[in-house]
Amino acid sequence: MRSFIARTAAAVLLLSVAACGAEKKAAEPAQGTEKLTLTLNWVPYGEHAPFYYGLKKGYYKAEGIDLEIKPGNGSGNVIKAVDQKQTDIGWADTPVLIRSVASGMKVKSVGVFLQKGPTSIQFLADKNIKSPADLKGKTVGGTPGDAIYATFPAWLKANGVDPKDVKVVNVDGAGKIAALAEGRVDAIQGFFHDQSPTIEAKTNKKMDRLLYADWGMNLLGTGIVVHDDTLKAKGDLIKKFVRATQKSWAEAAKDVPGAVDAMAELADNEPAKEVLTKQLNLGLTLLDAGSGQPGVNAESKWTETLDIMAKNADLKDPGAPAKYWDKSFTAAS
């Protein structure tokens, strides 16, 4: 018996050592690659599928990058993590980036991908809301502190609506979908390409929206955020990451089913494939890659977003786009 126990203990010890060795090996970058961590703006949804597509297709590996993708909890938290060097790269909303840089954070955008902003007012289609004027007398859920909430009164005014005629109810970001689905509000402020497909799946009812961009106010959407020190120390690596990401988005746009399958395989806690597909297809309409490839920005769009925030969202002395954005990392090829 003592001999059996000794042999068993030895076997357990051997397996433990082997497991520790495997875990250590798994944590190391693949041979010939350098590890980078990307933190998303939220838990995985359809907009993020191109990253997983690029991962599965080997676009990042081909650039010498061992990429790890992590879920996030809001653009503000992601940018803070980049600023504190808790993650190498963030995927975050541009108005939040602008506020973060204005507050002193040492980060920059190296390319916005969703150049037609997803900022919108969303509602069930049976509400028959066709223009901002139809929001009169309605209740709209919004989250204080975000750019959509701050610019909503100005957007209403620009479209001939007195903000006093629309009731705004404060709802935390995670509670907006439930508030609309349960009928506690008539509409919500948010990103239609993420939230609307989710609500449709929950309610079996069709959603509709009014995009700020379609009604005179475009705010740049999500893009790549990196710490200033990282741009200086690892500029070549970040250029490779951007190049792989541009390819991932361009190719995912041609192969939506493949991108959805890649995300379903590699992501955790992602939505159902039907929802993912709707989210990705809607997100791709916001790319505006007329400049040649995804992520290549026109300075005029940055200036437009800065002007809107300066006039309507308490952005003081915004300065030039270069304060927030380094265009050299997404130069058109």
34-115+220-330 has CATH 1.10.10.10 classification: no
Mean pLDDT of 110-121: 95
Instruction: Look over the chain and give the mean of its residue pLDDT values, rounded to a whole number.
Output: 90
SS3 of residue 142 by DSSP: strand
Mean pLDDT of 7-36: 50
The pLDDT of residue 13: 37
Least-confidence region, from 34-48, 197-211, 284-298: 284-298
The pLDDT of residue 145: 80
Virtual CA dihedral for 62, 63, 64, 66, nearest 10 degrees?
A: -80
Please give the Cα distance from 276 to 302 (Å, whole number).
29
Neighbours of 232 (CB within 10 A): 9
Mean pLDDT of 67-93: 96
Please give the Cα distance from 7 to 146 (Å, whole number).
62
Is the per-residue pLDDT at 207 higher than 90? yes
Is the per-residue pLDDT at 86 higher than 80? yes
Mean pLDDT of 30-44: 91
pLDDT one-digit tens code per residue, 228-255? 999 999 999 999 999 999 999 999 999 9
- Which residues are CB-neighbours of 198 under 8 A, at least 6 positions away? 45, 177, 271, 275, 279
Mean pLDDT of 128-150: 93
119-215 has CATH 3.40.190.10 classification: yes
Please give the Cα distance from 260 to 178 (Å, whole number).
25
Please give the Cα distance from 46 to 28 (Å, whole number).
28
Please give the Cα distance from 176 to 143 (Å, whole number).
8
The pLDDT of residue 314: 87
Please give the Cα distance from 96 to 170 (Å, whole number).
19
Mean pLDDT of 295-324: 94
Is the per-residue pLDDT at 101 higher than 80? yes
Mean pLDDT of 294-314: 93
User: Could you identify the residue written with the tokens 């963030």?
Assistant: 90
Is the per-residue pLDDT at 18 higher than 50? no
For a pLDDT cut of 70, what percent of the chain falls above it? 89
Mean pLDDT of 280-298: 86
The pLDDT of residue 102: 96
Please give the Cα distance from 318 to 324 (Å, whole number).
9
DSSP assignment string, 35-99: EEEEE-SSS--GGGHHHHHHHHHTHHHHTTEEEEEE--S-HHHHHHHHHTTSSSEEEEEHHHHHH
Q: DSSP secondary-structure letter at 313?
A: S
Q: Do domains 34-115+220-330 and 119-215 have the same CATH topology?
A: yes
Q: In 156-221, which ranges are E strands?
A: 167-170, 187-191, 207-211
pLDDT band at residue 173 using 50, 70 and 90 as cut-offs? confident
Please give the Cα distance from 246 to 241 (Å, whole number).
9
Is the per-residue pLDDT at 12 higher than 50? no
Please give the Cα distance from 89 to 295 (Å, whole number).
15
Please give the Cα distance from 287 to 114 (Å, whole number).
5
pLDDT band at residue 32 using 50, 70 and 90 as cut-offs? confident
Own/partner contacts of 197-202, CB < 8 Å, gap of 24 or more, are 197/46, 197/271, 197/275, 197/278, 197/279, 197/282, 198/45, 198/271, 198/275, 198/279, 199/122, 199/124, 200/278, 201/271, 201/272, 201/274, 201/275, 202/177
Is the per-residue pLDDT at 176 higher than 80? yes
Does this model's pTM top 0.75?
A: yes
The ranges assigned to domains in the chain are 34-115+220-330, 119-215
Least-confidence region, from 1-5, 129-133, 135-139, 161-165: 1-5
Of 216, 263, 231, which Cα lies nearest the Cα of 56?
Answer: 263
- Is 159 within 8 Å of 215 (Cβ atoms)? yes
Is the per-residue pLDDT at 3 higher than 70? no
pLDDT band at residue 333 using 50, 70 and 90 as cut-offs? very low
Is the per-residue pLDDT at 96 higher than 90? yes
The pLDDT of residue 312: 87
Amino acid at 198: T
